[in-house]
Amino acid sequence: MNPVRKVGLVGWGAIGRVVGTALAEGRVAGAELVCVVDNRPLGEAAPARQVSLEEALGLCDLVVEAAGQGVVREWGERVLASGTDLLIASSGALTDEDLAKRLLNTGPGRVYFTGGAVGGLDLLQAACSLGPLDEIRLTTTKLPSTLEQPWMDEELLTRMRTATGPVEVMSGTAREVPVKFPKSTNVAASVALAVGDLDAVRVQVVADPAAHRTRHLIEASGPHGSYRFEVAHRPDPDNPATSQVVPYAVLRGLAALAGRSGQIL
C-alpha cells in the first residue's frame, strides 16, 4: 500500500481553492492537504494551516504550485533541493530554458507538470519518440479582455476592444509567446514540453469577442501521422484568464502521484 502523500499547496486563487477543497474533503485517495502557502492572510478561508514556504517544506513531501510562473522561478529549485517533489501548474515558466534545465537537474525532489487546459500531449510525446514532427501549430482563442497586457500599444488595444470578430494578437514560437502572456498561454509551453522543442511550436493568439469558451487547437504532422486536438473550455468565473478545467487537471496529476489505481498515464 502506497504511503499517503502530504501535500503543501502554494496559492489560494481560482486554481488553488478548487484543488485545496478537494484535498481537504478527501476526494484524492492517497493525498492529504497539510498546509497552504499564500502571501495574503487567509484566516479560516483555507482548510489547512497557512504557513511560510520554509515551514511547508518541513511538513509535506509534495508541493503543488497554483500561484503563477513567478513562484516557479522563485521557489522551484528550493523546493526540489529540499527533497520535496513539485507539481507545476504554471508550465509557462518552463519557456525559460535555463530554468527548465535547473529544475530538471535539481534534486532529490522530482518535478512534474500538468497538461492544464489541453489534452493529447501524451500522444504527441509518443509520436515524437518515432521521430521529429515536421509541423506543430497551436491556436489559442480567448475573450479580448483576458488577453490585454501592459506592453500592448493603443492601436492594438483599440482593435481588440472594438473587434466584432477574431483579431490576431500575436504569433510566434512557444519560446516567445508565453513570455508576453504569462497568465494566458501555459498551453503553449505544455505543448513545447511534450515535443521537446520550444522553437518547433508555432503559436497564434487570437482575441474574439464571441469566444465565450476558451479554445485551443493543436495541429501536428510528421512522417508517421497527423494529429489534431481541439478543446473549448468555459473560463473560470473568478479568473477568466484560466479555464475551469485546469484545477481538475491538477487533481488528476495528484491522483497519479498518489498512486491511484486505474489512472491513465
Any catalytic annotation for residue 216?
yes
Give the C-alpha distances (Å, rounded to integers) separating 150 from 111, 122, 153, 184, 222.
Answer: 31, 34, 8, 14, 38
Do the bridges between strand 85-88 and strand 167-173 make them parallel or antiparallel, or are there none, so unpaired?
Answer: unpaired
Q: Considering Cα of 92, then 112, then 116, then 128, what sign does the dihedral take?
A: positive
Sign (positive or negative) of CA dihedral 73, 78, 81, 84: negative
Please tell me whether the peptide bond between 240 and the residue prior to it is cis, using omega within 30 degrees of 0: no
Nearest to 123 by CA among 188, 248, 220, 231: 220
Handedness of CA 237, 242, 248, 251 (dihedral sign): negative
Q: How far is CA 106 from CA 6, 13, 61, 88, 102, in A?
A: 21, 27, 15, 15, 6
Q: Which of 212, 216, 224, 233 is catalytic?
A: 216
Q: Let me know: does 224 contact 214? Beta carbons within 8 Å.
A: no
The CA distance from 184 to 96, in Å, is 16
SS3 73: helix
Number of H helices, E strands in the chain: 9, 11
Catalytic residues: 216
